[in-house]
Amino acid sequence: MKSKIKHLGIIMDGNRRWATTRRLPSFEGYRAGYKKIEDVLRWCRDAGIKILTLYAFSTENWQRSKKEVDFLMKLFYLALTKDIKKLHKNKVCVRVIGREEGLSKKLQQAIKKAEALTKNNTAAILNLAINYGGRLELVDAFNKILKNPPKEITEDLISQNIYTADLPDPDLIIRTSGERRLSEFLTWQSAYSEFYFIKRHWPEFSKEDFDDALNDFANRQRRFGQ
């Protein structure tokens, strides 16, 4: 059965904890979590969900060890230079949201090429939030607005200048690993999003978990503040 969800957001939490419980190095958790993305893209396609936004790396994640950060940056580069070919073949439009400032020139170039390659694809949109922070997104939106100062700043004007300006807000946000907070994920866009939290770590996230989240969403009555 097709879902009514147009835009799904996922906070992919618990990669390191998954590795720790198995006495594995943290990078094995990241590797397992990365592999899970392909499954979720397929599940979204089968459910008719057109937009998927994944919280891949926050602005606060720079505080992690250099070894971990370097591994993640290599993983992002691999995704945007090699695995992008399969996404392009499947007509997935890939976008990276977040601040380019702070990312290596090599990774910035890979992002630009991946976005250019897939920009006309219409089967689905995959947003990767890399070096992303919800508060900084609003700072960037205001700075963009102030380049041509308007008479009045409105909600619509702000919405037109955030990273996901041309996309609908997320209907549902899933967070794995038992934490119950947004951690600055799509802060502006999530005002009326529904939330679904599960204890399982991201690499363990299953089709059953995915279906449970969608079924739970289907049984909710969204009021949008009314």
Residue 40 lies in a domain: yes
pLDDT single digits (tens) 153-163 = 999 999 999 99
Q: What is the pTM of this model?
A: 0.95
Residue 46 lies in a domain: yes
120 is catalytic: no
Residue 44 lies in a domain: yes
Rounded Cα distance, 111 and 101, in Å: 13
> Where in the chain does DSSP place strands (E)?
7-11, 51-58, 92-97, 124-132, 172-175, 194-197
Average predicted confidence (pLDDT) for the chain: 96
Q: Which of 39, 46, 61, 161 is catalytic?
A: 61
On whether 175 is known to bind a ligand per the annotation, the reply is yes
Q: Which of 13, 127, 131, 161 is catalytic?
A: 13
Report the domain count for the chain: 1
On whether 18 is known to bind a ligand per the annotation, the reply is yes
Residue 160 lies in a domain: no
| Mean pLDDT in residue range 203-219 | 97
On whether 120 is known to bind a ligand per the annotation, the reply is no
Residue 19 lies in a domain: yes
On whether 17 is known to bind a ligand per the annotation, the reply is yes
Residue 92 lies in a domain: yes
pLDDT single digits (tens) 79-137 = 999 999 999 999 999 999 999 999 999 999 999 999 999 999 999 999 999 999 999 99
61 is catalytic: yes
Residue 11 lies in a domain: yes
Domain span at 204: 7-133+170-218
Neighbours of 143 (CB within 10 A): 10
Q: What distance lies between CA 73 and its chain's CA centroid?
A: 16
Residue 139 lies in a domain: no
Domain holding 16: CATH number?
A: 3.40.1180.10
Confidence (pLDDT) at 25: 93
Q: What distance lies between CA 109 and its chain's CA centroid?
A: 20
